Amino acid sequence: MNEIIEIHDISDPTLDAYARLTEHQLRNRLEPEKGIFIAESTTVIMLALDAGYRPTSFLMERKHICGSAAAILERCPDVPVYTADDAVLASLTGFALSRGVLAVMRRPMLPTVEEICADARRIAVLENIVDATNVGAIVRSAAALGVDALLLTPSCCDPLIRRAARVSMGTVFQIPWTYIGQTPADWPHVGIDRLHALGFRTAALALTDRSVPIDHPALKKEERLALILGTEGTGLTDETIRCADYTVKIPMFHRVDSLNVAAAGAVAFWETRVRQAD
């Protein structure tokens, strides 16, 4: 049976994860075994539980304890639940709990690039994408459209931060992902060499004089293909484009020159897919 803890003092340090720790402090990348993250909404939390993630506490409105969160609490009977009036929770978190339920989850140790790419045929590499909404949307599209794994360069937004995980609708717990390297020096040369060693050809999404259309037959014929998506605004670095085996574009109409990176990723994932939907 869950311990139900009424919140009377919002300065209680046991509530720091919900109210006062930055995303960087939650992540604690120097000691990932101690890292945590916040999962928001019953849908996201349930998918995290299905994937084996472990909560350390919950924060929710009282009505959800016997309501929308009942199934979650039944699966986690030893995890404490913090609750209070709506006004108290809003003053604690800084916003109304419109999705009702938050959970502090332990971060897992990330797999290696080699582990998640072992059986993969299509992967996506996210280069320096910093917007949480874009990362979450790309994760969701990748999971839905047949991408086997995601690799992130060291400067990318963390897919487990609250907004990214929420926008992904919990698919961040369903598709394998990890970082390709630990420092900026690990990308692009070292990282692309690593992908080549694993048998991948690389395709950079960028507008250049040598770009081929995303539906080019050669791309679909590749046994293993890594699609590289660049940061918002400036796109991929020149060095990444030079290192890639292909440079790929999405043909546009009405003189539109490009799509948002999340939308471009969805188009590219669909066009280069090799598997049918389940």
Q: Please give the Cα distance from 86 to 89 (Å, whole number).
A: 5
Kindly list the distances between the CA atom of residue 226 and the CA atoms of 15, 43, 76, 271, in Å, as whole numbers in the listed order.
41, 30, 38, 13
pLDDT band at 103 (very low <50, low <70, confident <90, very high): very high
Q: Please give the Cα distance from 5 to 81 (Å, whole number).
A: 6
Q: Please give the Cα distance from 187 to 190 (Å, whole number).
A: 6
Nearest-5° Cα angle at 209, 200 to 257: 95
pLDDT score for 8: 77
Q: pLDDT digits over 173-201, tens only?
A: 999 999 999 898 999 999 999 999 999 99
Q: Please give the Cα distance from 259 to 6 (Å, whole number).
A: 47
The helix/strand/coil state of 6 is strand
Q: Are strands 201-205 and 81-84 parallel, antiparallel or unpaired?
A: unpaired
Q: Residue range 80-90: average pLDDT?
A: 79
What's the pTM value of the predicted model, to 2 decimals? Answer: 0.88
Q: pLDDT digits over 23-33, tens only?
A: 766 766 445 55
Instruction: Tell which residue, 212, 190, 57, 1, has the closest CA to residue 113.
Output: 190
Token pair in block for residue 72: 């979650």
Token pair in block for residue 232: 């918002």
pLDDT score for 262: 95
pLDDT score for 48: 96
pLDDT score for 271: 95
Q: Which residue has the tokens 């959800």?
A: 64
Token pair in block for residue 150: 């995601």
DSSP string, 195-243: HHHTT-EEEEE---TT-EETT-HHHHH-SSEEEEEPBTTTBS-HHHHHH
